[in-house]
Structures are given as C-alpha cells and as structure tokens.
C-alpha cells in the first residue's frame, strides 16, 4: 500500500483526535468530547497535519507497523481498526460511498460535537466522557 493509499483509509470522522482516558486497572479506554488542540471541529481534520507530531508530541503517527499494538484505543468504526480486525470498510466510508461527506451524513463523525482541550482542564475531562458507542 502506498502512503497515499494508507492516508486515504482515514474516513475523517475525527474520533481518533478526541482525548481518551484509560482505566489503569482494567485497561478500558473511554472517549471524551475534548478534542486535541489542533483539531478542526468543522472539517473533522487536523488543523496542522503535516507538523502535528512537532506541535503535539503525544500525537500518534499511525502506520501499518504500529497498528496492531494501538488499534484497541481507536474507535470501533475506524477503517484502520476494522481492517486490522479483518472487517470490511463500512458502507458510509468515503472510499466505498465515493463521497467525503458520507461519514458525516451517517452520523459517525464528531463534527460539531467537540470541545477544544485548551478550554477544559485535564482534571475535568472525565466530566465529558462520551457514553455512546464509539
């Protein structure tokens, strides 16, 4: 797979850019509405993707070689996780539908539902846990 093909797998839902909390005892990962400081809530994309790792050192650069070890914290709907688990792309995925807006129309994205991390102190993130299936 080329780098462009790998990047095209991203459906643009924005869920991977949400801050997550992991239970130290159980390993359970929950998503919050609190998005990375670079996240653009309108486009559901990184506002500075090319240099995101420099600006946000904890940002994960996903690759075929590290996918297996980190896919557990990715949303269940994520194309990368789906493929890692041997599942097909969802019908709303832009590569299947041919339409980049299909992920938003299907209600799978977090467009318009996030809070910027610079407005929410980290100790308050658990007040913004998303209870719905991610």
132 pLDDT higher than 80: no
Residue 72 pLDDT: 84
76 pLDDT higher than 70: yes
**Rounded CA gap, 117 and 67, in Å?**
25
Average pLDDT over residues 88-113: 96
Average pLDDT over residues 68-94: 92
pLDDT band for 87, please (50, 70, 90 cuts): very high
pLDDT band for 134, please (50, 70, 90 cuts): low
Q: How far is CA 125 from the centre of its chain?
A: 17
131 pLDDT higher than 80: no
Angle at 77 between CA 71 and CA 82, to 5 degrees: 55
**Residue owning tokens 């650069």:** 61
Question: How many CB atoms sit inside 10 A of residue 8's CB?
Answer: 13
Residue 23 pLDDT: 87
């Amino acid at each position: 797979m080329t780098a462009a093909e790998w990047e095209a797998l991203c459906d643009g839902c924005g869920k991977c850019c949400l801050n997550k909390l992991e239970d130290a005892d159980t390993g359970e990962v929950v998503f919050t509405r609190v998005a990375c400081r670079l996240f653009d809530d309108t486009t559901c994309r990184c506002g500075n993707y090319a240099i995101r790792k420099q600006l946000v050192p904890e940002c994960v650069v996903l690759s075929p070689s590290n996918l297996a070890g980190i896919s557990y914290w990715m949303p269940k709907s994520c194309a990368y996780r789906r493929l890692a688990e041997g599942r097909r792309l969802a019908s709303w995925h832009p590569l299947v539908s041919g339409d980049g807006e299909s992920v938003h129309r299907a209600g799978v994205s977090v467009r318009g539902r996030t809070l910027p991390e610079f407005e929410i102190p980290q100790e308050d993130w658990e007040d913004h846990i998303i209870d719905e299936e991610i």
